[in-house]
Amino acid sequence: MALQLISNPIGHKLSDSEITAVIIDDGTGEALVYTGFAHALADGDYVYIESNFDAYNGYKYVDSIAYDSFKIRNSANSDAIEFIQDADITYRVSVLNHG
């Protein structure tokens, strides 16, 4: 699955590596990204997601839950993204670009 970038948040660029994961229900009706390995993301990081579900796609704010899973939000102040359906996703980590 190739990513098609529309626009970057100011000061961010995408990493070169595409990572595959799945979105599952966290048990409370929120979408949980499960990587199956240590993702090394922290609260406040951003990822760019592509899937078959528009609600999951685009730049998402990371809420790290465990070493192998995180929730996604549209911004730091928004609610977690609602779970729609299990989905295979591809994501890239957004890194700060200060130059």
Written as one string, the DSSP assignment of 8-54 is PPTTEEE-S--EEEEEEE-SSSBEEEE-SS-----TT-EEEEE-S-G
Q: What's the pLDDT band for 92 if we cut at 50, 70, 90?
A: very high
* Range of the structural domain that residue 60 is part of: 14-96
Q: Is residue 50 part of a domain?
A: yes
Q: Which of residues 17 and 24 earns the better pLDDT score?
A: 24
* CATH code of the domain covering residue 41: 2.40.30
pLDDT value of residue 25 = 98
In sequence order, the 6+-apart residues with CB closer than 8 A to the CB of 76 are 44, 61
66 part of a folded domain: yes
- Within a domain: residue 3? no
What average pLDDT is seen over the chain?
88
Specify if 9 maps to a domain.
Answer: no
Domain-embedded: residue 79: yes
| pLDDT tens digits, 20-44 | 999 999 999 999 999 999 999 999 9
pLDDT at 6 over 90: no
pLDDT band at 59 (very low <50, low <70, confident <90, very high): very high
Domains identified in the chain, total number: 1
The predicted model scores a pTM of 0.85
Answer yes or no: is 63 within a domain.
yes
